Structure 1
């Protein structure tokens, strides 16, 4: 334990000054804010770079335009040569025909003068045919030399693509007109098939898609009206002639129809089937709006015979199925 110290003067206090010196406070480093990165130290150089890029772009555009003009000049030459080739080819054929005809005259002429003139024609026409053949060979060689040029091949490919695009557009416009005519004759399904084929060939043509959508809506409206009329007729008959009512409704195509309408049609059909009072009848429905009423087959108890069906393609009356295959079938409630 430290003993107390009694100080009698400043001189004695000086002896203990080291014990009273406070420990130095830790120095805190002053954080200097980092200046933001310099994005543009030399704007003049950036401006010059942009100007150089613009000049280079202009040069490339002019170079490309000049190359295209040269290719178009070669293309015109190529077309002229092909026309010349066609003319020489036709000229050679005509000359060969003259030679053949003149030779017949030489062989069958009655007058010596006629024979001599025909012989002269053989000589002349043969010379023409030879000249035409030689010229055709030379022109064909020139055409072959031009066709190996890459710029001409590229331009010909572009022209073919443009021509094919024009032809597709013309066929599409013709399909639109024909589809409209079919729709006006109430042949909407045929019109939609025609437009569907055209759309496959021209998927990016708005006119085709618009016409298809218009006729599709028209067909849907017409089909809805027909289904509603059939439903009204079946409701009128289902009490006194349920068999006829079930037959009318079973012949309907309910694909794409509103759910509420499908439910009403199906309900009326099922009610008509119940009114037939079929013994041992079962109801089979694999999906909404699709079903069949069947009865046991008289000749085979393990099979069921269709009485009426709706929405099931190929399920005609009297068609038979194995009972085990229709696992969802339930007795038809009265």
Structure 2
């Protein structure tokens, strides 16, 4: 007696997925492959392109995921300068402050209350703060106005 088994497309997809996971576990030690982080040059290029098209929020969003831990100081200063220029164009108001604890790390903060005791994160560069996080003004040292003469 002869039996014929037919493969459905759904079982083929599951088999390929299983083989991929098996090979990854064998050759990569079970570690998941992560997409490589974009280079700083590509990040700045993408942000400039978005800025020129008028999408300032999109340009700032490009900088949110930047990991510049191993970048040289010259590239960090260049990255910061580009980010700061876009942030000033986007948040040019008087009620906006800049927090920069180290080279290549900064955040634009907007007052949330009348007294200004709490600030909301509006844009981030090289920090783990999510946009929208609320922080206390008293806990941050070195706040400067975002206006041209402040930073």
Q: Structures share a fold, TM > 0.5?
A: yes
The answer as to 2:61 corresponding to 1:178 is no
Q: Distance in 2 between matches of 1:321 and 1:229?
A: 31
The structural deviation recorded for 1:250 is 1.9
Q: Distance in 2 between matches of 1:262 and 1:331?
A: 21
Q: Report the counterpart of residue 245 of structure 1 in structure 2.
A: 59
Q: Report the counterpart of residue 236 of structure 1 in structure 2.
A: 49
Q: Report the counterpart of residue 109 of structure 2 in structure 1.
A: 294
By percentage of residues, which structure has more strand? 2
Q: Residue 135 of structure 2: SS of its match in structure 1?
A: strand
Q: Distance in 1 between matches of 2:28 and 2:89?
A: 44
The answer as to 2:120 corresponding to 1:310 is no
Which runs of structure 2 are paired with 1:61-80 in the superposition (5 Å)?
none
Structure 1 residue aligned with 2:95, among 260, 280, 298? 280
Looking at CA atoms only, which structure, 1 or 2, has the larger radius of gyration? 1
Closer, same or farther: CA 188–321 of 1 in aligned 2, 3 Å: closer
Q: Residue 275 of structure 1: SS of its match in structure 2?
A: helix
By percentage of residues, which structure has more helix? 1
Q: Report the counterpart of residue 70 of structure 2 in structure 1.
A: 256
TM-score (norm 2): 0.68
Unaligned runs of 5+ in 1: 1-176, 190-221
TM-score (norm 1): 0.33
Which runs of structure 2 are paired with 1:185-224 in the superposition (5 Å)?
187=33, 223=37
Unaligned runs of 5+ in 2: 1-25
CA RMSD in angstroms, aligned pairs only? 2.5
The structural deviation recorded for 1:330 is 0.5
